[in-house]
Structures are given as structure tokens and as C-alpha cells.
């Protein structure tokens, strides 16, 4: 019951999988969560193949509150505490604002922000238990650069990610003195399946890698309890520049 442990949502692919791998390398036992049970089991078994802390996996949708309770119950029974919660599961989708339907919006709200708020609240007891045992705990929320600066055709997604940034700031205000450190990670375009709509115009080699994001999460786990990183923005070189602002390389 004394080893450090992590819960990572959206852990079967892309950023969540890379973060899971980095945390395991750092010695965290893992509880990996995602929807598709086959893909998740394959990812967990691949990580568990090497020597190291245990890798558990739970399949379900974070949009379903009962699944969030299942994650918390499993973590409570298996570890009795939680050192790092990584709220990473997310859904995107490109639509002009006039084409956004209630279903499209509700799914993004449920996965990208409702689950983040609810799961964090449900994990507070476990996080506080880790603080009592080991001095600190963390919540890392995967937001997006789109949550810092809204993007055309991503208005509802940008709004949910701005909400993740705001929620993380509030967490910081509410919990920092209790030893629970909150970080919002805001990456630009990352080479995962979520980047597929951009592949015709942007080469994979010009995208941020899932490993880049995992490395900044790893860094936050290595800091002293006295040091908090509330927000990290990762950008590709031309992100946030207007085309006319892009300068030739010198």
C-alpha cells in the first residue's frame, strides 16, 4: 500500500499512453482507463511487459459517472491512495459554430470538462491520503493550446479546454496549501489520431510528439513539494502566429 500510484484517463493511445509510460518509468504503479477494452488491454499489456510497478486497466467511458466511481473504488481497494491523477481523456471534432448540434456539444462537455471536475472531486480523499503518506500529490489536466486561444472550427472544443484551464487554476487556489499540486498542460498539435484532420497540411514530423507532452508531465513529478507549475503551454514554432507573421528562418 506504500508505492506511488497514478490514474491516467485516455491512457490507451497518444498522449495518455506516452504519459503512462513515463510515469511507470518514474516508478508509479498505474491504473489506465479508456473506453475501448481491447485497445486498452493491448496498451496496458505492452507497458506491463517490462519489469516495474504493476499496470492495471479499467475500461469504460469517463462520461459515465458510475465508471468514475468504479475507478475510485478500484484505486481505493488496490492502493488506498493516489499520487497523481492525470485527467487526459478528451474528444475533439471540427465544426463551424452554426453546425454544432446538442449531441456534439454534450459529448465534448461530458468528456472534456464534466469528467475532469467530477473525477478530481471523487479522488480528493485518495490524493490527501498520498499527501499524508508521502508529502504531496498531483492533478495534471490535459487542456490544449486551443483552450488558451480559441480556434476556428474548434469553438466548442476550445471552450471545453478553456474550462479545463479555469478549473485547474481554481484547483490550485483551493488545494495548493494542502500539498496537492495542480497543473494544466496545454499542447499545440500533437501527433496522435486526434491530429488526423490536419495530416494533409502538416507533416507528422512538424507536430509535437506525445513523448514531448509526457516529458513535461514527468518533469512535474520530479519537482519538490515546494514548487508548483500551474500551467505549461507547448507550441509548434508557427502556432499562434498569423501567416504574415511567420518570419523566414535566419
Ligand X SMILES: NC(=O)c1ccc[n+]([C@@H]2O[C@H](COP(=O)([O-])OP(=O)(O)OC[C@H]3O[C@@H](n4cnc5c(N)ncnc54)[C@H](OP(=O)(O)O)[C@@H]3O)[C@@H](O)[C@H]2O)c1
Distance of CA 44 to CAs 13, 34, 68, 152, 219, Å?
Answer: 10, 11, 19, 36, 22
Over the window 93 to 112, marking each residue x when it contacts ligand X by CB under 6 A and - when it does not, the resulting string is ------------------x-
By the rule CB under 6 A, 162 interacts with ligand X: no
Residue 157 falls in the annotated catalytic set: yes
Q: Select from 100, 118, 195, 223 the one that contacts ligand X (CB under 6 A).
A: 195
Distance of CA 227 to CAs 50, 51, 60, 92, 141, Å?
Answer: 32, 31, 34, 32, 17
Name which of 107, 72, 1 is nearest 58 in CA terms: 72
By the rule CB under 6 A, 91 interacts with ligand X: yes
By the rule CB under 6 A, 117 interacts with ligand X: no
By the rule CB under 6 A, 232 interacts with ligand X: no
Over the window 135 to 154, marking each residue x when it contacts ligand X by CB under 6 A and - when it does not, the resulting string is -------x-x----------
Distance in angstroms (rounded) separating the CA atoms of residues 188 and 34: 22
Shortest Cβ contact with ligand X: which residue?
90
By the rule CB under 6 A, 5 interacts with ligand X: no
Distance in angstroms (rounded) separating the CA atoms of residues 97 and 202: 24
Distance in angstroms (rounded) separating the CA atoms of residues 116 and 197: 25
Q: Considering only residues 58 through 77, tell me which ones interact with ligand X, judged by CB under 6 A.
A: 61-63
Enumerate binding residues for ligand X (CB under 6 A): 9-16, 34-36, 39, 61-63, 88-92, 111, 142, 144, 187, 189-190, 192-195
What residues are annotated to the active site?
Answer: 157
Amino acid at each position: 500500500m506504500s508505492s506511488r500510484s497514478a490514474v491516467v484517463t485516455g491512457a490507451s493511445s497518444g498522449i495518455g499512453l506516452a504519459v503512462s509510460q513515463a510515469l511507470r518509468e518514474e516508478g508509479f504503479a498505474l491504473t489506465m482507463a479508456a473506453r475501448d477494452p481491447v485497445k486498452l488491454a493491448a496498451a496496458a499489456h505492452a507497458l506491463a511487459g517490462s519489469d516495474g510497478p504493476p499496470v492495471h486497466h479499467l475500461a469504460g467511458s469517463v462520461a459515465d459517472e458510475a465508471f468514475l466511481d468504479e475507478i475510485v473504488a478500484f484505486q481505493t481497494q488496490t492502493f488506498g491512495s493516489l499520487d497523481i491523477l492525470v485527467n487526459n481523456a478528451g474528444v475533439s471534432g471540427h465544426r463551424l459554430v452554426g453546425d454544432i448540434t446538442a449531441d456534439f456539444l454534450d459529448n465534448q462537455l461530458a468528456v472534456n470538462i464534466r469528467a475532469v471536475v467530477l473525477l478530481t472531486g471523487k479522488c480528493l480523499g485518495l490524493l490527501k491520503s498520498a499527501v499524508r503518506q508521502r508529502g504531496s500529490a498531483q492533478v495534471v489536466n490535459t487542456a490544449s493550446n486551443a483552450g488558451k486561444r480559441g480556434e476556428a472550427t474548434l469553438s466548442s472544443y476550445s471552450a471545453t479546454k478553456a474550462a479545463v484551464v479555469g478549473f485547474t487554476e481554481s484547483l490550485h487556489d483551493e488545494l495548493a496549501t494542502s500539498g496537492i499540486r495542480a497543473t494544466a498542460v496545454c499542447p499545440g498539435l500533437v501527433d496522435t489520431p486526434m491530429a488526423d484532420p490536419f495530416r494533409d497540411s502538416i507533416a507528422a514530423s512538424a507536430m509535437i510528439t506525445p513523448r514531448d507532452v509526457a516529458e513535461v508531465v514527468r518533469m512535474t513529478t520530479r519537482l519538490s513539494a515546494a514548487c508548483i507549475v500551474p500551467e505549461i503551454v507547448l507550441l509548434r514554432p508557427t502556432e499562434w502566429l498569423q501567416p504574415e507573421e511567420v518570419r523566414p528562418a535566419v
